[in-house]
């Protein structure tokens, strides 16, 4: 499903064994990096961002705001300066806006642009083009937005100009920070108040970061609301390391006796830390050190010591707090003693790939006893063999499979790995530096 399927595309080659040691700094948080551009792009005045994730997804969002007339300076190393001039300076992009692999880019921008009444066409790669968008277009239509999708409710999305939007209360049927955020961002420029309630807690970066831009956002346990007509003020932001990128290293080190790894400057927002809780329930030795706060977000260093993990029934309240980490958690479960059962995780089927299917197919090829279910999987831990698997162009399945090599008996080859660059530039270099026996090569389709 990656955009380059059939052309030259990276293959990861793993030799079995090894341990993870030393110190790793993973790249910046993807969710926060997207939002920093979007909010800085509509704010009054300058926004300075440090630690911006220079992955393809966030760069597409940066390009989109440049195409709509926002002056953005970007220096290598994650320094970005956004010269916001409020919403009035934004103009419709001259051509369609291509958002690559990024569901976050597309869903959040659709809410924002619909509220701003900026006609646009948003497109994506093969994966994004089959992802469900009615989950945002339906509540936005209730607010008065005019957005058309493909027949199956998939991209491209055409946002037509129309009357100003009206605030609504939306009961979100699924636990999705992207849907919550799309509605709230539309609500910023709607009349009256817009509120969203969600069935389970999802990441709250939109709410926290909008507050940092001076917006009055009311938040409760499962609700958030904004009054329309509020202006954003430019600010300074430090983006911490992405806990979702850290998750591969957390799992790799936690499940491999002899490992001893420190992950520095990781965002530990409590709406994102489900992976730490789940691994600890499996017996992992993870210490949270040097806790501090930057830009309204908690940050810490994570110290992991390897051990033999145990299978568990993953508590359903932790699922939405670890939603991007299940590919890695499935690998932890494969190496554990006993059985791990994941339920209530049907959202995994509509990520960059159907992550339940891709992980079940790949782990089965590595000799793991795994049964996919409608909303999760049942994984019996045991020996992991070498073999060849397909990430199906999904960054997180590619990185998760690579960590399996720490506990496999033979080499593992992973196809279709280019999209690792969407969230984790230089993954191979950083993982090899920590002790993963990984190299990348180019393969023909
Ligand atoms: C994200 C929300 C999650 C997550 C995605 C990033 C965000 O998606 O999977 O990687 O930044 O809001 P859903 O809201 O679809 O669960």
Taking CA atoms only, the protein residue closest to ligand 1 atom 15 is 176
> Nearest-CA neighbor of 261 among 7, 18, 1?
18
Taking CA atoms only, the protein residue closest to ligand 1 atom 16 is 176
| pLDDT for the residue numbered 5 | 47
Q: Could you report the per-residue pLDDT of 44-84, keeping only the tens digit for each?
A: 999 999 999 999 999 999 999 999 999 999 999 999 999 99
Give me 413's structure tokens.
């080859």
Distance separating alpha carbons of residues 133 and 322, to the nearest angstrom? 22
Q: Is residue 2 part of a domain?
A: no
Query: Using an 8 Å Cβ cutoff, are 348 and 323 in contact?
Result: yes
Helix, strand, coil % (nearest 5) of the chain?
Answer: 35, 30, 35
Taking CA atoms only, the protein residue closest to ligand 1 atom 4 is 324
Res. 183: pLDDT tops 90: yes
Distance separating alpha carbons of residues 325 and 266, to the nearest angstrom? 15
387 and 269 in one domain? yes
Res. 281: pLDDT tops 80: yes
Query: Using an 8 Å Cβ cutoff, are 37 and 61 in contact?
Result: yes
Res. 241: pLDDT tops 50: yes
| pLDDT for the residue numbered 7 | 58
Grade residue 444 by pLDDT with cuts at 50, 70 and 90.
low
Taking CA atoms only, the protein residue closest to ligand 1 atom 10 is 324
374 and 280 in one domain? yes
Nearest atom of ligand 1 to the alpha carbon of 30: 11
Res. 2: pLDDT tops 60: no
Q: For residues 252, 257, 261 and 267, what is the CA-based torsion angle, rounded to 10 degrees?
A: 50
Candidate of 170, 174, 177, 271 to mutate for ligand 1, largest count of ligand atoms within 8 Å of Cβ: 177
Give me 209's structure tokens.
């970061």
225 and 143 in one domain? yes
Match 């299917």 to its residue by tokens. Answer: 357
C-alpha of residue 42 to centroid of ligand 1, in Å: 21
**How many Cα neighbours within 13 Å face the side chain of 145?**
34
Give the pLDDT mean for 136-154.
97
Helix axes 177-187, 103-116, angle to 10 degrees: 20
Grade residue 147 by pLDDT with cuts at 50, 70 and 90.
very high
- Domain boundary pick from 238, 256, 284: 238
Nearest atom of ligand 1 to the alpha carbon of 175: 16
Give the pLDDT mean for 129-158.
98
Active-site annotation holds for 324: yes
Cα angle value 304/306/308 (rounded, 5°)? 135
Predicted TM-score (pTM) of the model is 0.97
Q: Is residue 180 part of a domain?
A: yes
C-alpha of residue 323 to centroid of ligand 1, in Å: 8
Q: Could you report the per-residue pLDDT of 284-307, keeping only the tens digit for each?
A: 999 999 999 988 899 999 999 999
231 and 371 in one domain? no
Q: Could you report the per-residue pLDDT of 304-318, keeping only the tens digit for each?
A: 999 999 999 999 999
Give me 143's structure tokens.
């607010």
C-alpha of residue 176 to centroid of ligand 1, in Å: 6
Q: Residue 211 to residues 100, 103, 120, 256: CA-CA distances in angstroms? A: 29, 23, 27, 41
Nearest atom of ligand 1 to the alpha carbon of 31: 11
Q: Is residue 334 part of a domain?
A: yes
Distance separating alpha carbons of residues 99 and 183, to the nearest angstrom? 19
Q: Is residue 3 part of a domain?
A: no
Domains contained in the chain, number: 2
| pLDDT for the residue numbered 6 | 44
**How many Cα neighbours within 13 Å face the side chain of 230?**
22
Query: Using an 8 Å Cβ cutoff, are 181 and 107 in contact?
Result: yes
Give the pLDDT mean for 201-221.
98
269 and 410 in one domain? yes
Query: Using an 8 Å Cβ cutoff, are 242 and 58 in contact?
Result: no
Q: Is residue 249 part of a domain?
A: yes
- Domain boundary pick from 238, 262, 284: 238
C-alpha of residue 178 to centroid of ligand 1, in Å: 5
Q: Could you report the per-residue pLDDT of 353-371, keeping only the tens digit for each?
A: 999 999 999 999 999 999 9
C-alpha of residue 271 to centroid of ligand 1, in Å: 12
Residues in Cβ contact with 30 at an 8 Å cutoff, skipping those fewer than 6 apart? 53, 55, 57, 58, 104, 242, 244, 245, 423
Q: For residues 122, 125, 126 and 132, what is the CA-based torsion angle, rounded to 10 degrees?
A: -40
Res. 144: pLDDT tops 90: yes
118 and 105 in one domain? yes
What phi and psi values does residue 225 have, to the nearest 5 degrees? -150, 150
206 and 148 in one domain? yes
Full domain range(s) for residue 371: 8-28+240-444
Nearest atom of ligand 1 to the alpha carbon of 181: 12
Q: Could you report the per-residue pLDDT of 162-172, keeping only the tens digit for each?
A: 999 999 999 99
Distance separating alpha carbons of residues 353 and 191, to the nearest angstrom? 37
Res. 203: pLDDT tops 60: yes
378 and 259 in one domain? yes
**H or E segment and range at residue 195:** strand 193-197
Q: Is residue 407 part of a domain?
A: yes
Candidate of 35, 58, 135, 176 to mutate for ligand 1, largest count of ligand atoms within 8 Å of Cβ: 176
End-to-end CA distance of the chain: 12
Q: What 3-state class would DSSP assign to 14? A: strand
Q: Pick 1 or 132 by higher pLDDT.
A: 132
Taking CA atoms only, the protein residue closest to ligand 1 atom 9 is 324
304 and 199 in one domain? no
C-alpha of residue 324 to centroid of ligand 1, in Å: 8
C-alpha of residue 179 to centroid of ligand 1, in Å: 9
Give the pLDDT mean for 332-348.
98
Q: Is residue 1 part of a domain?
A: no
Give the pLDDT mean for 321-327.
98
Instruction: Name all residues whose Cβ lies below 6 A of ligand 1.
Output: 31, 104, 176-178, 181, 203, 323-324, 347
Taking CA atoms only, the protein residue closest to ligand 1 atom 13 is 176
Given the residues 200, 204, 242, 324, the one annotated as active site: 324
Taking CA atoms only, the protein residue closest to ligand 1 atom 11 is 31
- Domain boundary pick from 238, 264, 294: 238
Q: Mean pLDDT in the chain?
A: 97
The enclosing domain of 227 has a CATH number of 3.65.10.10
Q: Is residue 283 part of a domain?
A: yes
Task: Give the 3-state DSSP-derived string for 42-73, with helices as H, strands as E and coil as C.
Answer: HCEEEEEEECCCCCHHHHHHHHHHHHCCCEEE
| pLDDT for the residue numbered 443 | 81
């Amino acid at each position: 499903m990656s955009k380059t399927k059939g052309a030259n595309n990276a293959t990861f080659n793993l030799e079995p064994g090894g341990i993870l040691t030393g110190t790793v700094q993973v790249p910046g948080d993807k969710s926060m990096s997207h939002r920093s551009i979007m909010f800085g792009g509509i704010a009054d005045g300058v926004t300075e961002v440090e630690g911006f994730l220079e992955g393809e997804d966030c760069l597409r969002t940066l390009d989109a705001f440049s195409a709509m007339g926002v002056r953005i300076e970007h220096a290598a190393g994650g320094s970005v300066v956004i010269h916001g001039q409020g919403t009035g300076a934004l103009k419709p992009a001259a051509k369609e806006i291509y958002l690559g692999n990024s569901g976050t880019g597309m869903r959040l921008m659709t809410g924002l642009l619909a509220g701003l009444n900026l006609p646009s066409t948003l497109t994506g790669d093969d994966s994004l083009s089959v992802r469900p968008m009615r989950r945002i277009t339906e509540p936005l239509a209730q607010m008065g937005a005019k957005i058309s999708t493909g027949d199956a409710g998939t991209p491209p999305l055409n946002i037509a100009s129309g009357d100003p939007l009206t605030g609504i209360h939306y009961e979100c049927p699924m636990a999705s920070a992207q849907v919550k955020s799309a509605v709230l961002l539309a609500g910023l420029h709607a009349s009256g108040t817009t509120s969203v309630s969600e069935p389970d807690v999802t990441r709250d970066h939109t709410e926290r970061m909008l507050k940092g831009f001076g917006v009055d956002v009311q938040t409760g346990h499962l609700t958030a609301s904004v009054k329309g007509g509020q202006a954003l003020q430019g600010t300074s932001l430090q983006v911490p390391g992405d806990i979702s990128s850290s998750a591969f290293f957390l799992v790799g080190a936690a499940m491999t006796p002899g490992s001893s790894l420190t992950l520095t400057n990781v965002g530990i927002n409590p709406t994102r830390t489900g992976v730490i809780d789940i691994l600890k329930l499996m017996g992992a030795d993870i210490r949270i050190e040097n806790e501090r706060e930057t830009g309204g977000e908690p940050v810490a260093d994570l110290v992991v010591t390897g051990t033999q993990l145990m299978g568990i029934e993953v508590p359903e309240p932790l699922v939405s707090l670890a939603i991007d980490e299940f590919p890695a958690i499935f690998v932890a479960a494969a190496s554990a003693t006993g059985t791990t059962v994941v339920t209530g995780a049907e959202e995994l089927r509509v990520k960059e790939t159907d992550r339940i299917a891709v992980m079940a197919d790949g782990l089965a090829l590595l000799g793991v006893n795994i049964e996919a279910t409608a909303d999760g999987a049942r994984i019996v831990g045991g020996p992991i063999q070498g073999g060849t698997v397909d990430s199906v162009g999904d960054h997180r399945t590619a990185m998760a499979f690579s960590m399996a090599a720490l506990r496999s008996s033979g080499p593992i080859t992973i196809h279709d790995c280019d999209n690792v660059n969407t969230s984790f530039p230089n993954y191979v270099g950083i993982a090899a530096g920590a002790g993963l026996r990984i190299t990348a090569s180019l393969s023909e389709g």
